[in-house]
Amino acid sequence: MKVIFFRLLLAFVFSAMIGYEREVSESNAGLKTHILVAIGATIVALLQIEIIGYVRELALANPGGPINVTSDASRLISQVVSGIGFLGAGAIIVTKRNISGLTTAASIWTVASLGLAIGMGFYPLAFIGFLFVLLTLFIFKRVLHFSNPYRIIVRYVGGAQTLISIKEVLSDLYLEYELTSYRSELFADHVIHENVFKFKDFKTEPFQELVSELSVIPNIVSVERTNLI
């Protein structure tokens, strides 16, 4: 019982730290999802061990019996590895502009692998793998932040006059940006314009202030922030 509790607790701690990073990054799957995936994978690994032990006991109890009892040591684990792929696919969002959620999908698959390693008792493998995951998510993210800009997607009606108002707001907030793309589409007898602004350094606070300022403009339809990290 102590071993089971320890392995589940270890899976909880590892996945919580990984899930916290995803939660802070405002990903589609955050803290709770990563914890549940890791604990579920750990339970499956523990169940696989119990099944193997139970089958071994049956075989030893009936050495010359008419029934040949066997167990596939990788059956349940292999199903977790493939099944988590469907959950990770749900975290990937494909739009006309970009693909987001790839890191989150990979982190979900990784915490499942960590859960399996912990459940099977491979502590060195799980610990070293966990350290590399933290290195990738926390350290590399800080390094790549300078080369991976945020993008703000603004949808509006009113044409050029509204765009001028948007640029005035950006200038008032002292935000350096680059207008990377533009498109328009007809929706319910209105022309919806969409501009994508790219920022090199953009934190949560300026975004909230930007949304607050743009909401004053009556022709703004939506404001969305995206990034690839």
- The 10s digit of each residue's pLDDT in 142-201 is 666 555 567 788 888 887 888 888 888 888 877 777 777 778 787 777 788 888 888 766
Is there a single domain that holds both residue 120 and residue 193?
no
In a shared domain, residues 126 and 16:
yes
Report helix angle 2-24 to 123-134, nearest 10. 10
Stated pTM of the model = 0.65
Task: Judge if 109 and 132 occupy the same domain.
Answer: yes
Structural domain of 192? 150-226
Q: For residue 220, what are the β-bridge partners? A: 156
Residue 10 has pLDDT above 80, yes or no: yes
Select from 84, 116, 144 the last residue of a domain. 144
Total number of domains constituting the chain: 2
Mean predicted lDDT score pLDDT of the chain: 80
| Residues present in the chain in total | 229
**Cβ–Cβ contacts within 10 Å for residue 197, how many?**
23
- Boundary-marking domain end, from 76, 109, 144: 144
Q: Residue 69's closest CA among 82, 80, 57?
A: 57
Backbone φ, ψ for residue 53 (5° rounding):
-65, -40
Note the pLDDT tens digit of each residue in 38-71.
Answer: 999 999 999 988 888 777 777 777 766 555 666 6
Beta bridge partners of 226: 151
Q: Of residues 229 and 125, which shows the higher confidence score?
A: 125
Cα angle value 126/131/132 (rounded, 5°): 100
Q: Are residues 128 and 154 in the same domain?
A: no
- Region 8-36: mean pLDDT is 87
Q: Are residues 124 and 213 in the same domain?
A: no
